[in-house]
Structure 1
Amino acid sequence: MGTTRRATAGLAVIVGLAAEHGVTAERCLAGTGLSDEDLTDPEHEIDAGQELDAVANLLDACDEPGLGLIAGSRMHFTAYGVWAIGMMSCPTAREAAGFWLRHADHTFAMTEARMEIDQVEYRILLDAGGLPAKTRTFFLERDMAMAMTLHQEMMFTSVTPRRLHFTYPAPAHADHYRGFFGIDPVFSAARNLIALDAALLDRPLPMADHHIVRRSEKALARLAGNGRADAGRSFAVRVRAMLVRDPALGLDGVAARLAVSPRTVRRRLAAEGTGYRELLDDVRAGLAERLLGEGLPAQDIARRLGYSEPAAFIHAFRRWKGVPPGRYRQDGR
């Protein structure tokens, strides 16, 4: 999941998709603090948690299969701004892949991507382990479809994967995958991956321009340094986005991903008027409510949220809501 604030293009696609299936923007954006007008403002930025909430709302309101595939197919390179310009200006797909991974925080992906390369194929692996169960399949579909769409547009030619694997069981709409990717996936696999012919990596890209690559690298570095358009909130937003994805990450884990010390994390959060424990508490409270609504037992929720034992989670939940989780669920809140 990108940890910087992001443009609204990805969420705009989701809201547009919702409208096509009879779900209003108001319903899709409920609880996000966003309005339909925000999505048309080119200067407006959101955090990953808002997009997670919008997709959860969409899935609650619409059971149309394959929405993630459709959303990913509509994420064209123009939506990514300077990141896509830099990637498509690389000399080869190999260098473009490196550019992609170095600046992954500037994409719309919710999953964590990494790459494996051998003489036969290169594999893009997506990790969705920290996403809420309700939205996991949607974002794996979408992010895999986004990767495929970008490959097609970057190379200006049709590309068919060698293999396609998903960790979840075959859905009822499994045939939709062949329609989009051109091959039948393996479901209930050990990893989520798309594998392509290694020969593609050294194919020259038609828009190669090393000057544009350098300018894009510098522009992305400035964006990262400035926290995009919201420097006053950026660091806290980035930490919160990490915790939404993996509330069990811990302060040391957050610091490692940000390449700073735990002390620096505390200091920078304090400078923005918040703290690590405060952010973690807020994220845990929101996720706990969502997971209870999905029917997960308290012990599973405790583990997902990073508690060492269910009793600690129950105590925290009572502090947040005034009642224990079982009572909260019984009352249908």
Structure 2
Amino acid sequence: MKNEVTMKDADFVSFEQFDLLIQLIVQKTTNENIGLYFGEQSNIAALGVVGQLIQTSKTIGNGIEQALSFFNLISNVITLRLQKEATSFKLYFEIDKAVKEKYPITYKQLVVSSMTFIYKEIHFLALQKKHPTHVAFDFEIDAISLYERIFQCSVDSKNEQNFIEFPSEILEEKIVYADYELFVHLEKIVCKRLTAQKGKSEKVTDTVKEVICKLLNPDFPKLTTVANHLHISERALQRKLKKENTTYSQLLSELKKSMAVEYLASTNSIKEISYLLGYSNPSAFVNAFKSWYQISPSLYREERICIN
């Protein structure tokens, strides 16, 4: 049975308004590739209930099926289509030809940001780097080298269609957030403890830690993002932290140190925890943990189990 989901048009921002906003951003930034930034900065939480369905799916393939089924809840302009081949699969991004002709600037940014977002979220869901094998756009791109550096594969412009292609085995990759409730629970524990600390102190460091926890998605926010949230400049925030003899990177390290212990109390593997804490590979996390506690995370987990 086909699932039919409808929403009132009022629930969507009109494409005309969206087009004016994108054109203004491109004009003010003089960056014709701003869609790459939009895609990298977006996160799956912005998809609402559809994002939750994707996160709690068992595999990447299941998550993509959820996205395909309910994509009309995410966008009423762009259509996502999956095509499976012998050793790969392609995700096509299709927009009405009339939209492309009437809104060429916004069309380009929308397609680019959507592809970049998908690429980033596959990393996020599998907690490991999963590069595409081919990316193609149906419009001209001048900065091909920039796109190839970001997607880590060959990129074609002026193609007949817009698509991103991945090896087939990625569809079978497990999504670690299938236990998403546990993940959220662990983050809440850390945030509650930080909030309790802040109640006893008016230090800027405690405020910044609290903001970092609020903005976890689970990627750790950048200094710029935290400063914007506090309505001050990066330099002003850095000066305030310096007065308390610390830096933003040191605060992130302290947070990761606290969260590592909480994650080790769960069933998450060392590999999963390393990615949850933003490390490029498990060995980097193991080395960091040893520097904090003078013991490996595996031994720490075993000793904690024995004590409990």
TM-score using structure 2 length: 0.51
2:139 match: 168
Matches within 5 A, 1:16-31: none
1:94 is matched with which residue: 61, 76, 90?
A: 61
Contact 1:6 1:108 in 2 (8 A): no
Q: State the alpha-carbon separation in 2 of the partners of residues 82 and 70 from structure 1.
A: 24
**Structure 2 runs not aligned, ≥5 long:** 183-308
Contact 1:113 1:124 in 2 (8 A): yes
Matches within 5 A, 1:238-257: none
Per-residue deviation at 1:109? 7.8
Q: State the alpha-carbon separation in 2 of the partners of residues 71 and 191 from structure 1.
A: 21
- State whether structure 2 residue 164 is matched by structure 1 residue 194: yes
Q: State the alpha-carbon separation in 2 of the partners of residues 142 and 46 from structure 1.
A: 17
2:119 is matched with which residue: 148, 156, 160?
A: 148
- Residues 142, 135 of structure 1: CA spacing in aligned structure 2 closer, same or farther, 3 A cutoff? same
Per-residue deviation at 1:197? 0.6
Larger Rg: 2
Per-residue deviation at 1:123? 0.3
Matches within 5 A, 1:1-333: 4=7, 46-107=13-74, 110-128=77-95, 129=97, 130-131=99-100, 132-171=103-142, 173-208=143-178
- Residues 109, 60 of structure 1: CA spacing in aligned structure 2 closer, same or farther, 3 A cutoff? farther
Quick one: which amino acid aligns to residue 119 of structure 1? A
Quick one: which amino acid aligns to residue 120 of structure 2? T
Per-residue deviation at 1:113? 1.2
For each residue in 1:112-163, what CA deviation from the matched residue of structure 2 results, as whole angstroms up to 9, or x when unmatched? 2111012211100011332312322111111111111221111111110011
2:224 match: none
For each residue in 1:229-273, what CA deviation from the matched residue of structure 2 results, as whole angstroms up to 9, or x when unmatched? xxxxxxxxxxxxxxxxxxxxxxxxxxxxxxxxxxxxxxxxxxxxx
Contact 1:126 1:193 in 2 (8 A): yes
- Residues 206, 190 of structure 1: CA spacing in aligned structure 2 closer, same or farther, 3 A cutoff? same
Contact 2:55 2:180 in 1 (8 A): no
Per-residue deviation at 1:164? 0.6
For each residue in 1:88-109, what CA deviation from the matched residue of structure 2 results, as whole angstroms up to 9, or x when unmatched? 1111111111100111023258
Secondary structure of 2:20's counterpart equals helix
**Structure 1 runs not aligned, ≥5 long:** 8-43, 213-333
Q: State the alpha-carbon separation in 1 of the partners of residues 9 and 19 from structure 2.
A: 13
TM-score using structure 1 length: 0.47
Secondary structure of 2:62's counterpart equals helix
Over the matched positions of the two proteins, sequence identity in percent amounts to: 13
Per-residue deviation at 1:205? 1.7
- Residues 3, 52 of structure 1: CA spacing in aligned structure 2 closer, same or farther, 3 A cutoff? farther
Per-residue deviation at 1:111? 2.3
Contact 1:109 1:143 in 2 (8 A): no
Query: Cα RMSD (Å) of the superposition?
Result: 2.9
Q: Relative contact order: is structure 1 or structure 2 higher (C-alpha 8 Å, sep ≥ 6)?
A: 1
Quick one: which amino acid aligns to residue 67 of structure 2? W
- Residues 163, 6 of structure 1: CA spacing in aligned structure 2 closer, same or farther, 3 A cutoff? farther
- Residues 104, 126 of structure 1: CA spacing in aligned structure 2 closer, same or farther, 3 A cutoff? same
